[in-house]
Structure 1
């Protein structure tokens, strides 16, 4: 592979990758894919189709300063002269540069994913990137009318529901008269990861713009993108609880166990268990594995009338409405009480003690097993008309949404009641 550095200064490095195409692609790196050896942004996909490429890789988080870019052009004029068709490609910081220097480099098409208009805090507020603005390097860095070539086609891909990226797009619209846009809803700033596809990139760079065709291709790529599902779930979950069920029902996907962070995973589990019957297949699609216990019924209730359970998926004590417990009895194991003693549940006809450490990590132990270091059993205390569930000097308190936390005092929300056990068919 013929690849070598053709320009370098303190801010950027330019690498020429020789191919067989008529086009020359300027591929700009971003904040993450900065200069490292001879690596080029999107190199694998570009090399697959033997594009001639100049990879312009940032060495610093400096948004391709104008002085560096003008010096680059002086150094590579002879290299780029034979190429009449030049295309710019990049995302985020690289997307900004592809637009900003399109006229300077003589580009005929720009494909810019989630670009910035500027990172100057005096020009636009963006807490993600304003910190990287350097007045000496980035003065007057915003995209301006004189940066835009009349004979260049500008294609911008972004999520119109991402407020920060939307603000940049609104500004870019004002300076690019014929801007073409492809919306990528519910992906936030992750368009580059979501649309990682060699075939789609080739189409973006060379195919005549046809929004219907591009949206069809984008849909195909999104269906195979784990990043897309994660962003959609993160975005929809707080406002459209039932949408997650539709995603699971209508898509054949398999996420790994590390795909969601702990907080989002617990939120997803709660929404699933609260709104619909959950199958093992649903959980496996989300990368969640669980050892299923046998059923057990219990009627220890919080002050809102919700049943207190041990959630086998999240490994936490939580509260759920009775119908949710009935639907998901394999995962939500009721906690029942007959008197003062250790908090226990029944799994596979065996009794398990619920223990916790100071970091609020809960774990099940068989009655006869030793506790691991730092773990202390939870204690159920019976009073005349209520129960307390305690850890050291703290008492478990429930909120109206089924969340539980340990508090030092004894509010009404920390007092649990009991009622007779119900059969499996009870509603």
Structure 2
């Protein structure tokens, strides 16, 4: 076991890695609670050091936590979880009160392994039933399905139990998530389904609150109580207002003016993407609902250049991005990039130039060392020793991203690496960004 003690806001944290294989890293965060929380990571916040999903919220209340963090985009393969169980028994055995918590991929695992972990409560936000295209067609995640790892990955009757309490949070109007819920309902008809309308897949971001996490884990279920707490959190969530505006704008034009007039928003200019800004401005100016102050609330400048950009796509039709969480170049399907645009920053065709991204309205170049460790550096900043900028090279019909004599390639799962080859996997085609 790898042990470490770290500081969080000045408080010493006792952590240790208690299991690890190619797919997952399992970390024990020691606390003083009677309960043991199994906290599953998600697709974006994969294993990084000793970080645990929802760590700040869980540590604030001194929970004992088993953080199960994915190292790959592989949806917690059963083989890894079973191997984990053999290794962590001495740690989890003393705890009779157990709770599983997670969102999206982590929500799937919290439900899927609820019997195996012998938990009393499961809190799952926007979970999947399966990513196997034969089970559920979901263009966001089907690309990550691997038969050798995810065989029979769908949630089965023997995975769940009516003796366990399931709390499932989702947007009933978001078809991509609703299809998974419809598959889960016959398996866990006794579950408590809490609706979070007009948030799409962003429930995790919208409901980010230590107090709410605490209530989900400990408070006896009371639908009216939870809805009251969720409303309180939503009112302070920028993510919520963005999703509400996205969903209501096409159908209820007057709702936007009402939201602006009745809420003290102060959004930055990167809060909405270009497509959202365009739609907002069209409605605002055509209906004369708002003034300059209201535009400032939305972080919108009146004179915005409409820049046409071309996203680089790999041989599998996936867009090239810089993942600010993993600090790596990766490729994702267009739907996944749009869904997680705060963390997956597109790499656009720039001609022969340094590889750059624009993040928080600042231009960054992507640099790397010989160990293929990447980081972002502001254009005007100095490079640290050993770091070199990545270069973008333009050829007839495609681009190549290079580090010294090595070229970047991506595979069908979106992972990227550098090698001394130039083939179809290292040729990126510019695709004009949709308005």
Aligned-pair distance for 1:17?
0.3
Matching residue of 1:240? 252
- Name the CA distance, whole Å, in 1 between partners of 2:26 and 2:187: 28
The aligned residue for residue 133 of structure 1 is 145
List aligned pairs for 1:110-259, cutoff 5 A: 110-259=122-271
Task: Please give the secondary structure, in 2, of the residue aligned with 1:27.
Answer: strand
Task: Note if contact 1:26-1:89 (Cα within 8 Å) is conserved in structure 2.
Answer: yes
> Quick one: structure 1 residues 277 and 31, their matched pair in 2 at CA, closer, same or farther if it must change by over 3 Å?
closer
- Among 298, 313, 325, the alignment partner of 2:303 is 313
RMSD: 1.3
* 3-state DSSP of counterpart to 1:217: helix
Q: CA deviation at 1:276?
A: 2.8
The whole-number CA distance in structure 2 between the counterparts of 1:219 and 1:4 is: 36
Give the 3 Å change call, closer, same or farther, for CA 99–134 of structure 1 in structure 2. same
Shift of 1:270: 1.3
1:267 aligned partner: 279
The answer to whether the aligner puts 1:29 opposite 2:63 as a matched pair is: no
Distance in 1, Cα, partners of 2:199 & 2:290: 26
CA shift for structure 1 position 265 = 1.0
Work out whether residues 118 and 141 of structure 1, in 8 Å CA contact, stay in contact via their aligned partners in 2.
yes
Partners of 1:263 and 1:180 lie apart in 2 by 35
By how many angstroms is 1:315 displaced?
A: 5.7
> What SS does the aligned partner of 2:185 have?
helix
Where 1:2 maps in the other structure, the secondary structure is: strand
Unaligned runs of 5+ in 2: 1-12, 307-435
State the alpha-carbon separation in 2 of the partners of residues 101 and 62 from structure 1.
15
Please say if 1:49 is aligned against 2:61: yes
Structure 1 segments (4+ residues) deviating >2 Å: 312-316
Looking at structure 1, the residues matched to 113 and 275 of structure 2 have their Cα atoms a distance apart, in angstroms, of: 41
CA distance in 2, matches of 1:177, 1:257: 43
SS of alignment partner, residue 253 of structure 2: coil
Considering only CA atoms, is the larger Rg found in Structure 1 or Structure 2? 1
Shift of the 315–36 alpha-carbon distance from structure 1 to 2, 3 Å rule, reads closer
Aligned residue pair count? 295
Alignment counterpart, residue 95 of structure 1, candidates 72, 85, 107: 107
Is 1:81 equivalent to 2:93 in the alignment?
yes
The SS at the match of 2:186 is helix
Query: Per-residue CA shift, 1:84-118, capped at 9, x if unaligned?
Result: 10000000000000000000001000000000000
TM-score, structure 1 as length reference: 0.68
Q: Which residue of structure 1 lines up, in the alignment, with residue 336 of structure 2?
A: none
What does the per-residue CA deviation read over 1:317-351, in whole Å, with 9 as the maximum and x for residues that have no partner? xxxxxxxxxxxxxxxxxxxxxxxxxxxxxxxxxxx
Q: Distance in 2 between matches of 1:47 and 1:187?
A: 27
Question: Deviations for 1:97-140, whole angstroms, at most 9, x for unmatched residues?
Answer: 00000000010000000000000101111010001110011111
Residues in 1 aligned to 2:79 and 2:227: alpha-carbon distance in whole angstroms = 37
2:167·2:193 contact (CA, 8 Å) conserved in 1?
yes
